[in-house]
């Protein structure tokens, strides 16, 4: 018996010594442990795009273009109203976009109650999702830096470049100036478009004159935004925007009969003199302002981002440069969203 016990003791000691020598570090055994240091981990790029009823194909094409032209770690925040969310989710999950990283965010239009002045001339500009950009910190919680994009865009460059836009200290956002790209000036003149504050604010109103902003000041376009969420919250940007929305309801300080509609004007006031600038090739716009005026093909090929702001959208007819948009369009598996073309 003693010999048996001694043999078992020796066997146990040998087993312990073997495990000590050949032990696999626990961090390697646990497949859920991230072995990369924080410096080595790939930064997540949050991109916010709205999916509105009747134009979900626009959001899909925008997402498709971004995803296809980058190796970056992009997380798409797709914002919709309650009744549209199932449709956009099915579209993504039943197409080649099923590989993207995305989160569906429901926007509650009740936050806009009492803050939008009704305007019959361009009712499409009063749709709730037009104001999602005002509420970015409420929708996106964990990111320091966020990209917001309108749905009527196509990205031809690497979204990482846009994300790397430098924001000056104290600036909550970066935009593209409407006067910054000489190649667009001819189009602006040809369609009578406004690119100054005069085209967005009613300078007959004392509240606007009291701002002390020259009407000839160059405007900017908030269809592409690179935002610093810390500064946005610190400066209470959302509260400032809501204040000017409410004042417009009471005093009619701007309207969609002016050039920029009702979502741009409050941003022009709140961010005046307090924003950084985006590389102009990362926001080539006005493609939707006329069904006849076109850019040169060479210029469009060089552009990093194309924006069909205006009435003439590339999924409708008439519109221009539709081939550049359609390259990225993914048909709706449900068949609800259809392109409007001359032969359709």
Residue ranges per domain, the chain? 45-177+220-234+276-327
For 175-195, what is the mean pLDDT?
67
For 195-224, what is the mean pLDDT?
93
Banded model confidence at residue 12, pLDDT cuts 50, 70, 90? low
218 to each of 110, 183, 213, 263, 310, how far by Cα in Å?
33, 16, 10, 17, 18
Banded model confidence at residue 4, pLDDT cuts 50, 70, 90? low
For 190-207, what is the mean pLDDT?
81
Q: How many CA atoms lie within 13 A of 275 on its CB side?
A: 24
What is the rounded distance in angstroms from the CA atom of residue 241 to the CA atom of residue 263? Answer: 9
What is the rounded distance in angstroms from the CA atom of residue 260 to the CA atom of residue 274? Answer: 19
For 305-322, what is the mean pLDDT?
95
- Given a cut of 60, whether residue 183 has pLDDT beyond it is no
Banded model confidence at residue 257, pLDDT cuts 50, 70, 90? low
Question: Which runs of consecutive H residues, i.e. helices, occur in the chain?
Answer: 2-22, 26-29, 56-68, 85-93, 136-139, 159-163, 182-190, 206-209, 229-234, 237-251, 261-270, 297-302, 322-326
What is the per-residue pLDDT for 16? Answer: 58
Residue linked to tokens 């417009």: 248
- Given a cut of 80, whether residue 174 has pLDDT beyond it is yes
pLDDT tens by residue, 116-130: 877 645 556 678 999
**Do strands 145-149 and 276-277 pair parallel, antiparallel, or not at all (unpaired)?**
unpaired
Vertex 281, ends 275 and 282: CA angle to 5°?
60
What is the per-residue pLDDT for 118? Answer: 73
- Given a cut of 70, whether residue 205 has pLDDT beyond it is yes
Q: Residue 334 is inside which H or E element, if any?
A: none
pLDDT tens by residue, 132-152: 999 999 999 899 999 999 999
- Given a cut of 50, whether residue 318 has pLDDT beyond it is yes
Highest mean pLDDT among 181-190, 249-258, 316-325: 316-325
For 312-323, what is the mean pLDDT?
96
pLDDT tens by residue, 65-106: 999 999 999 999 999 999 999 999 999 999 999 999 999 999
Report whether 289 contacts 320 (CB < 8 A).
no
Report whether 291 contacts 269 (CB < 8 A).
no
pLDDT tens by residue, 25-46: 332 223 333 334 444 457 999 9
Residue linked to tokens 């309108």: 150
Residues 290, 293, 295, 300, CA torsion sign: positive
If phi over 0 gives left and psi between -120 and 50 gives alpha, with beta otherwise, what is residue 191?
alpha
What is the rounded distance in angstroms from the CA atom of residue 16 to the CA atom of residue 87? Answer: 59
What is the per-residue pLDDT for 121? Answer: 55
Q: Between 116 and 182, where is the model more confident?
A: 116
Residue 275, both tokens: 């924003």
Beta bridge partners of 104: 78
Q: Between 262 and 112, where is the model more confident?
A: 112
- Given a cut of 80, whether residue 175 has pLDDT beyond it is yes
- In the chain, the percentage of residues whose pLDDT exceeds 70 is 79
What is the per-residue pLDDT for 25? Answer: 35
- Given a cut of 90, whether residue 314 has pLDDT beyond it is yes
Q: Taking the CB of residue 73, how many other CB atoms lie within 10 A of it?
A: 12
Beta bridge partners of 76: 47, 102
- Given a cut of 70, whether residue 9 has pLDDT beyond it is no
Mean pLDDT of the chain: 86
Candidate CATH numbers 3.30.300.20, 3.90.550.10, 3.50.50.60, 3.20.20.140; the one for domain 45-177+220-234+276-327:
3.90.550.10
| Closest to 303 measured CA to CA, from 329, 325, 276, 326 | 325
């Amino acid at each position: 018996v003693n010999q048996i016990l001694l043999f078992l003791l020796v066997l146990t000691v040998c087993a312990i010594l073997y495990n000590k020598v050949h032990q696999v570090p626990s961090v390697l055994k646990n497949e859920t442990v991230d072995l990369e240091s924080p410096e080595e981990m790939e930064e997540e790029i949050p991109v916010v795009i709205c999916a509105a009823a009747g134009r979900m194909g626009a959001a899909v094409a925008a997402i498709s273009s971004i995803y296809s032209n980058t190796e970056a770690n992009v997380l798409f925040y797709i914002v919709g109203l309650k009744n549209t969310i199932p449709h956009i989710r099915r579209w993504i999950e039943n197409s080649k976009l099923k590989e993207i990283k995305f989160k569906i965010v429901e926007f509650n239009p009740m936050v806009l109650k009492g803050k939008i002045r009704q305007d019959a001339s361009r009712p499409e500009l009063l749709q709730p999702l037009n104001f999602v950009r005002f509420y970015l910190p409420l929708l996106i919680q964990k990111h320091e830096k966020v990209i917001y994009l309108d749905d009527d865009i196509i990205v031809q460059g690497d979204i990482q470049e846009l994300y790397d836009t430098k924001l000056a200290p104290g600036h909550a956002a970066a935009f593209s100036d409407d006067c910054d790209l000489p190649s667009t000036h001819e189009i602006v003149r040809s369609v009578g478009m406004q690119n100054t504050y005069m085209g967005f604010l009613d300078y007959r109103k004392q509240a606007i004159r009291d701002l002390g902003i020259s009407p000839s000041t160059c405007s900017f376009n908030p269809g592409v935004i690179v935002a610093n969420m810390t500064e946005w919250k610190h400066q209470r940007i959302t509260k400032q925007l809501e204040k000017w929305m409410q004042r417009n309801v009471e005093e009619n300080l701007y309207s969609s009969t002016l050039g920029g509609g009702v979502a741009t004007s409050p941003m022009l006031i709140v961010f005046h003199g307090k924003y950084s600038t985006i590389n102009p090739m990362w926001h080539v716009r006005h493609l939707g302002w006329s069904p006849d005026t076109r850019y040169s093909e060479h210029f469009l090929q060089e552009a990093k981002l194309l924006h069909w702001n205006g009435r003439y959208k590339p999924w409708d007819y008439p519109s221009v440069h539709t081939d550049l948009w359609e390259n990225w369009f993914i048909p709706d598996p449900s068949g609800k969203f259809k392109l409007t073309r001359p032969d359709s």
